[in-house]
Structure 1
């Protein structure tokens, strides 16, 4: 899967599942502030990422995720590590 496909898939499910306006999703935007997620939303995010990419994000992964670009990078790294 290409980086572009990973980004598109993540953006699509953020819009669909979390009802986020696609205009707020940009690589350098602060993810937490843009999405306004609570702890249950993060659990849903982990499940959706796992079902779409076959990778599991853990709590320690989120320590370094501040922007959407950070999320893309973590998912891409984990995806290619298992591919």
Structure 2
């Protein structure tokens, strides 16, 4: 994952495969909790999956403020590009 598009593509695949979310529902503005129906346990599972894929430790505090798909993409972008 080298850029925002690749991060979004990977995130979309995870959300579709692991959480059974329709791919066309995964947009940058989509709310993880309201529109995609993730709950706090799903969010933890998502963080674990992203850690496995990136090989980086994700600070839980970073994900406390994440609300949209774009927020996740930005957090991962900062992690893998930093």
TM-score by length of 1: 0.84
- Higher-RCO chain (CA-CA 8 Å, sequence separation at least 6): 2
Q: 2:69 aligned with 1:68, yes or no?
A: yes
What is the distance in 1 between the residues matched to 2:25 and 2:57? 25
Unpaired segments ≥5 residues, structure 1: none
Counterpart for residue 7 of structure 1: 8
How many residue pairs get aligned? The number is: 81
What is the distance in 1 between the residues matched to 2:42 and 2:65? 18
Unpaired segments ≥5 residues, structure 2: none
What is the distance in 2 between the residues matched to 1:49 and 1:79? 11
Q: Contact 1:14 / 1:20 at 8 angstroms: preserved in 2?
A: yes
